[in-house]
Amino acid sequence: GVGFRSVTESIDTTTAGGRLVFALFGALAAFERDLVRDRTMAGLVAARARGRVGGRPTVMTPARIQAARSLLAVPGATVTSVAKDLGVSRAT
């Protein structure tokens, strides 16, 4: 039983006309959101077709990964010490 009344936009959802206007605004917002998403996806596809890839470049080259694995195989080695030796964060 609660309604919304905006004095500046003259929207009152307690009336049929107000509910219609509110629903139209919602539908237009959803439509615009979908258009933006479609354009974004099309842009990403076009960029990939040109050879572009998104995201942050990786710092772990295959050589670094191999070095990390061999360092971790050493008894007593910790992830933190190996990361420090390789110059990367522990999370990496």
Q: Is the pTM of this model over 0.85?
A: no
The yes-or-no verdict on residue 33 having pLDDT over 90 is: yes
- Three-state SS string over 15-71 comes to CHHHHHHHHHHHHHHHHHHHHHHHHHHHHHHHHHHCCCCCCCCCCCCHHHHHHHHHH
Domain spans of the chain? 5-49, 56-92
Q: What is the pLDDT of residues 35-47, one digit of tens each?
A: 999 999 999 999 9
Local confidence band at 1 (pLDDT 50, 70, 90 cut-offs): confident
Please, which residues have CB within 8 angstroms of residue 86's CB and are 6 or more apart in sequence? 64, 67, 68, 71
Q: What is the pLDDT of residues 3-20, one digit of tens each?
A: 888 888 888 899 998 899
Predicted pLDDT of residue 10: 80
- Region 12-34: mean pLDDT is 93
Q: What is the pLDDT of residues 51-89, one digit of tens each?
A: 998 888 889 999 999 999 999 999 999 999 999 999 999
